[in-house]
């Protein structure tokens, strides 16, 4: 343990010497990096390593050591540098945060599933999910529990149970497989110890999320807001949302899928990935 702590402190000490970029420098180096300039790409990465550490610290005590979280986050940072277009109007820190969080959350999710679920449950769940994916391509819509059950010749109750299990694992209500009830992005709810640059960054993301939600139709917007704890709502299950708005669980799920699909299209125009925000 002491060796790990020493290695962590050494790394944190090393990256502390990398100066942050001004907004003007950020645009300059980002443009050069897009054109393939290796030195500019390295400068963008090194200047934002502290951002990775800051985000990684928020995921402590969730199954991975800090250095492992930082390593995963660094992969997201590198990806962000490769894809960042300064002409889109985002500050790089805002854009990079989405990619860093995505890679860290995916790593923790993989680790959490392995730890929390017995192997036979994991295998059974994978069969159900693979069948659901195959049916969604064939039917051109997200299959219901009844359709999956018919395909697998299994009781509907068994399918529903496994789908609920998967929903609990991957829901934004429990984004990392634990028992936490934090909704959507930790950054939306956990603002303690944020500095001025973080407040600006978080505000950018909140404003963008709200703006994108209002590009959906009213029903999609309400379902996503209620499901993922947005626009003043508390995050809720499919069943709870259905009771609140007078729809069946299955219909709420269908509207959620439609809304997420539309949001994915919107985010792709921004060069962003919806999985960094929402988990279906």
Dump pLDDT digits (tens) for 68-119: 888 889 988 998 898 888 887 778 888 888 888 888 887 877 665 544 566 6
Q: Are the C-beta atoms of 5 and 28 separated by less than 8 Å?
A: no
Range among 28-32, 212-216, 226-230, 233-237 with highest mean pLDDT value: 28-32
185-280, what's its fold? Arc Repressor Mutant, subunit A (1.10.10)
Dump pLDDT digits (tens) for 113-160: 544 566 677 778 878 888 887 887 778 777 888 999 999 998 988 888
Where along the chain do its domains lie? 1-115, 117-170, 185-280
Q: What angle do CA 212, 259, 141 make, to 5 degrees?
A: 150
- Please list, in sequence order, all residues whose beta carbon lies within 8 angstroms of the beta carbon of residue 80, skipping any fewer than 6 positions away: 92, 95, 96, 98, 99, 100
User: Is the fold of 1-115 the same as that of 117-170?
Assistant: no
Closest CA to 223 of 240, 211, 207, 206: 240
Task: Provide the pLDDT for residue 77.
Answer: 92
Distances (CA, A) of 93 to 31, 49, 86, 174, 201: 15, 11, 11, 25, 7
Could you tell me the pTM of the whole model? 0.45
Closest CA to 226 of 208, 246, 242, 211: 242
In this structure, whether the domain defined by 1-115 belongs to CATH 1.20.120.1810 is answered with: yes
In this structure, whether the domain defined by 117-170 belongs to CATH 3.30.1660 is answered with: no
Q: What angle do CA 258, 218, 143 make, to 5 degrees?
A: 20
Task: Provide the pLDDT for residue 199.
Answer: 42
Range among 164-168, 218-222, 272-276 with highest mean pLDDT value: 218-222
Task: Provide the pLDDT for residue 215.
Answer: 84
Q: How far apart are CA 40 and CA 49, in angstroms?
A: 15
Q: How far apart are CA 252 and CA 56, in angstroms?
A: 33
Distances (CA, A) of 244 to 191, 251, 257, 278, 280: 29, 13, 18, 21, 20
């Amino acid at each position: 343990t002491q060796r790990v702590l020493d290695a962590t402190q050494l790394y944190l000490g090393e990256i502390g010497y990398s100066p942050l970029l001004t907004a003007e420098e950020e645009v300059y180096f980002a443009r050069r990096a897009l054109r393939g300039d290796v030195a500019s790409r390295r400068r963008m990465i090194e200047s934002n390593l502290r951002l990775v550490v800051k985000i990684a610290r928020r995921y402590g005590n969730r199954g991975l050591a800090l250095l492992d979280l930082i390593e995963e986050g660094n992969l997201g940072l590198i990806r962000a540098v490769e894809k960042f277009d300064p002409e889109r109007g985002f500050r790089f820190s805002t854009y990079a945060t989405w990619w860093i969080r995505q890679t860290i959350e995916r790593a923790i999710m993989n680790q959490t599933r392995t730890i929390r679920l017995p192997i036979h449950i994991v295998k059974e769940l994978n069969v159900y999910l693979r069948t659901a994916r195959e049916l969604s391509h064939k039917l051109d819509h997200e299959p219901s529990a009844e359709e999956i059950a018919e395909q697998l010749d299994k009781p509907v109750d068994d399918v529903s149970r496994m789908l609920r299990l998967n929903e609990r694992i991957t829901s934004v209500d429990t984004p990392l497989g634990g028992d936490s009830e934090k909704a959507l992005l930790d950054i939306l709810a956990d603002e303690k110890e944020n500095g001025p640059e973080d407040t600006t960054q978080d505000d950018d993301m909140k404003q963008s999320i709200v703006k994108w939600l209002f590009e959906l139709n009213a029903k999609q917007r309400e379902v996503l807001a209620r499901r993922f704890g947005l626009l003043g709502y508390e995050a809720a299950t499919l069943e709870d949302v259905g009771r609140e708005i007078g729809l069946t669980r299955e219909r709420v799920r269908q509207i959620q899928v439609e809304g997420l699909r539309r949001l994915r299209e919107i985010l792709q125009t921004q060069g962003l990935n919806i999985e960094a925000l929402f988990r279906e």
